[in-house]
């Protein structure tokens, strides 16, 4: 299993690095990998949110018995563990693979950054959807773009801080 995962990571890195050549003079390979992995996970996040909101919850409130969640907030809650897992694994093994920090420390720090972004996303959805009446999916997309900037800075300088630049 470990060998198969290593081969998959190597394949992902090779595919990303193949497209790096035109950008070589403008950015580091690490920044390029972060951008590709981040954009891929962001698009995955948007598609997952759209599918959950429109097809799983069918735009209906989610009654959990002790609390009822609006569909746009429930969609956010359902997608979180999936996006959290894929984002952490890809950033750890593809983008910031040279970090010498223990995995549990990286995961804890990643969770802290993720919680900050989640708070921003939750508040943004409440404001844009509930107060201004914007559509949930575009609102989620707009907020995601804002949190990507915060994420890159935090992942590079906090979560995976113990990295050496990949050239």
Neighbours of 94 (CB within 10 A): 19
**67: region left, alpha or beta (phi > 0 left; psi from -120 to 50 alpha):** beta
Query: So where are the chain's domains?
Result: 2-159
- How far apart CA 154 and CA 113 sit, in angstroms, is 7
pLDDT digits over 102-145, tens only? 999 999 999 999 899 889 999 999 999 999 999 988 998 899 88
The DSSP line for 83-114 is HHHHHHHHIIIIISTT--S-HHHHHHHHHHHH
DSSP 8-state class, residue 25 = T
pLDDT tens column, 6-57: 899 999 999 999 999 999 999 889 889 988 998 899 899 989 999 999 999 9
């Amino acid at each position: 299993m470990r060998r198969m995962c290593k081969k998959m990571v190597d394949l992902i890195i090779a595919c990303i690095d193949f497209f790096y050549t035109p950008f070589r003079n403008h950015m580091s390979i690490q920044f390029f990998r972060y951008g590709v992995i981040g954009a891929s996970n962001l698009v995955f996040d948007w598609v997952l949110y759209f599918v959950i909101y429109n097809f799983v919850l069918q735009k209906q409130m989610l009654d959990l018995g002790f609390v009822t969640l609006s569909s746009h907030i429930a969609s956010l809650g359902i997608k979180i563990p999936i996006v959290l897992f894929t984002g952490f694994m890809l950033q750890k093994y593809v983008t910031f693979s040279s970090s010498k920090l223990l995995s549990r420390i990286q995961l804890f720090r990643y969770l802290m950054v993720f919680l900050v972004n989640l708070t921003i996303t939750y508040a943004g959805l409440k404001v844009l959807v509930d107060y201004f009446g914007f559509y949930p999916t575009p609102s989620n997309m707009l907020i995601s773009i804002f949190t990507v900037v915060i994420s890159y800075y935090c992942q590079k300088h906090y979560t995976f801080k113990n990295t050496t630049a990949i050239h």
